[in-house]
Structure 1
Amino acid sequence: MAQPKYEGYCECIPTKLVREKFGDVNVYAQNAKSLLTKATGFIGNYDFTLNPYRGCQYGCSYCYAAAFTPNAQMRQDWGKWVIFKQNAAEILAKELKKWYEKNPQTPPSIYMSSVTDPYQPLESKHQLTRRLLEVMLDMGIDGYPTPTLVIQTRSPIIVRDIDYLQRFKRLRINMSIPTGSELVRKDFEPRSPSIKARLNAISKIKQSIDYFKGFLPKISITITPLLPTLATDEAAFIEKLAIADRIVIQAFHANHSRSLIASTRQEAEEIKQKYSWWYENEKLSYRKFKEKLICRLPGVEIMEGKEGFFYE
């Protein structure tokens, strides 16, 4: 079957037109054939990955997900386009029912999301992720165990769904905060929410859930990739990380030009030159930061790479 041709990213007649503009982002709508993708590789311990969107408005300079784009031009324009899967809720309901027909007492484990942010700004309008949470919870109403869910995001929008989140018995929220310095964040991920907003979102989730009415999720802060934190910000940042029960750190993905393989974009490699004081001996910088986490956060689980992304 022919691949979709997106308006603005093809020289022929496009098959997918820009449905709307969200800021400077081209937004396309597309029906998905499937939504649950068999998890492999880095997150292979899950049953499925789930991505409500393709592309991401945050467009972080280092994001490996840019490799998984429809074409080279869209890869170059990472952050300037998003495809939302308009039939996502209907497809998920069908796929979960199919799972439970074969595994009536075994809930699937789902990682949401692996190549997008399920709470990017567009979610505030289209509410795809919220509808997907509702579908998962409806399985419980039908008598099936609710899926084990891990949500990976860097967005404060997640607090909108506290009413749904507290109904999951097995939920982990991974809040991505790669640096404790706003100056560094603005260099590497200028379109993303502030560090303070992300930490406040985690605080609100923990403070808003009524133990008698719901379940408190596990909380991870993923410092992935580990970016520099300025010396003036480091102590305060580490202290704030105590809000989580797990901290995950990881270095940059290897850089290469091939598509469909997780890779750090060249844009980030160029930004790294500004922080030579950290990257000239990156392994030592990484080790020292890890040692500080272990020393100053005795009650928090410090994990690295793949192991840190498991639910347990």
Structure 2
Amino acid sequence: MGFLEDYTHTLNPYGGCAFGCSYCYVRSMPVAAFREEAWGAWVDVKQGAAELLQKELARASTKGPVRIFMSSSTDPYQPAEYRERVTRSLLEAMAETPPDFLLVQTRSPLVTRDIDLLRRLGGRVRVSMTVETDLEEVRRAFAPAAPPIAARIKALARLKEAGVPVQAAVAPVLPSSERLPALLRPVADRIVIDDFEMGDGSGGRRTKRLGLEPLYAKLGATEWHSPDAWRTVYERLAAYYREDELKISRSGFAP
């Protein structure tokens, strides 16, 4: 993923991801390819992560700005976090020794549990909530184990009301309706749009190997399986957002 070049560190509280989204580029990477279990069926908990982070923050801060992307290959608020609280422990460490910038990338409403810590980070943090579609039938087809769209919208509203900087990530672009912009406008003043070609780090080759075409066909939405589909979403959002509020791919994930 090219947008990780804007960061000095990536932080993954877990290995694997129980959401198991069908389009996740990590499915085709070595971390998943050499496991016997299917992607989405296994999760490794990183023990002692907060202590390691504290040491790394102390060391890295003496060498220059520290910019952290959490997470690049797993959702930091997947179901295991309810019990393990690894992500919360990492935020506690960062609240004590703040990085220059932290991006929290998630699709889980559980992030609202940590509003107290996110507020302590102030303008150093941004929560990026994935809202790849507004259609539940599409979400169920591509990511049946992921949280419902309505719950994510409510989470964005809670975060914004609490003063936590947020953005909605329409990433990857999936089939959606003309109602998507009106759904996002009240809860997010910043939007990033990304698709498979721009966002999987290989010009779409990794995603192509996943064979998603049948899912589009089953939904009767083959026109969305196109490199230009993101432009449809952009044009719809442009009627609700200023140009400086709409970001494309890497620029939207940058600090």
Give TM-score scaled by structure 2 length: 0.88
CA RMSD in angstroms, aligned pairs only? 2.6
Structure 2: how far apart are the matches of 1:284 and 1:116? Answer: 27
Contact 1:118 1:129 in 2 (8 A): yes
RCO comparison, higher one (Cα < 8 Å, 6+) = 2
Range with greater deviation from structure 2 (107-116 or 183-192) = 107-116
Contact 1:49 1:111 in 2 (8 A): yes
Aligned to 2:173: 226
Aligned to 2:114: 161
Q: 1:85 to 1:262 in 2, by over 3 A?
A: farther
Q: For residue 110 of structure 2, what is the amino acid of its counterpart?
A: I
Max Rg structure: 1
Residue 271 of structure 1 and its aligned partner are, at CA, apart by 1.1
Question: Are positions 1:118 and 2:76 aligned together?
Answer: yes
Question: Are positions 1:74 and 2:35 aligned together?
Answer: yes
Out of 159, 165, 182, which is 1:239 matched to?
182
In the alignment of these two chains, the number of paired residues is 250
Residue 202 of structure 1 and its aligned partner are, at CA, apart by 1.0
Q: For residue 158 of structure 2, what is the amino acid of its counterpart?
A: K
Question: Are positions 1:55 and 2:16 aligned together?
Answer: yes
Cα-to-partner distance string for 1:204-252 (whole Å, 9 max, x where unaligned):
1222x2xxxxxx332111111100014xxx32x2112112121111222
Residue 198 of structure 1 and its aligned partner are, at CA, apart by 0.3
Aligned to 1:290: 234
Structure 2: how far apart are the matches of 1:184 and 1:71? Answer: 25
Structure 1: how far apart are the matches of 2:54 and 2:30? Answer: 26
Structure 1: how far apart are the matches of 2:57 and 2:138? Answer: 41
Residue 280 of structure 1 and its aligned partner are, at CA, apart by 6.5
Q: 1:278 to 1:241 in 2, by over 3 A?
A: farther
Structure 2 unaligned blocks of 5 or more: none
Q: 1:43 to 1:72 in 2, by over 3 A?
A: closer
When you count helix as a share of all residues, which structure comes out higher?
A: 2
Aligned to 1:252: 196
Question: Are positions 1:198 and 2:137 aligned together?
Answer: no
Percent identity (aligned): 39
Structure 2: how far apart are the matches of 1:152 and 1:253? Answer: 19
Out of 102, 107, 132, which is 2:90 matched to?
132
Structure 1 unaligned blocks of 5 or more: 1-39, 140-144, 210-215
Range with greater deviation from structure 2 (83-92 or 181-190) = 83-92
Contact 1:228 1:278 in 2 (8 A): no
Out of 150, 159, 175, which is 2:103 matched to?
150
Q: For residue 138 of structure 1, what is the amino acid of its counterpart?
A: E
Give TM-score scaled by structure 1 length: 0.73
Residue 199 of structure 1 and its aligned partner are, at CA, apart by 0.5
Cα-to-partner distance string for 1:173-225 (whole Å, 9 max, x where unaligned):
10001111000000000000000000101111222x2xxxxxx3321111111
Contact 2:213 2:225 in 1 (8 A): no
Residue 75 of structure 1 and its aligned partner are, at CA, apart by 7.7
Residue 292 of structure 1 and its aligned partner are, at CA, apart by 1.2
Q: 1:53 to 1:166 in 2, by over 3 A?
A: same
Structure 2: how far apart are the matches of 1:68 and 1:220? Answer: 27
Cα-to-partner distance string for 1:120-147 (whole Å, 9 max, x where unaligned):
01001000000000111122xxxxx544
Structure 1: how far apart are the matches of 2:2 and 2:194? Answer: 16
Residue 264 of structure 1 and its aligned partner are, at CA, apart by 5.1
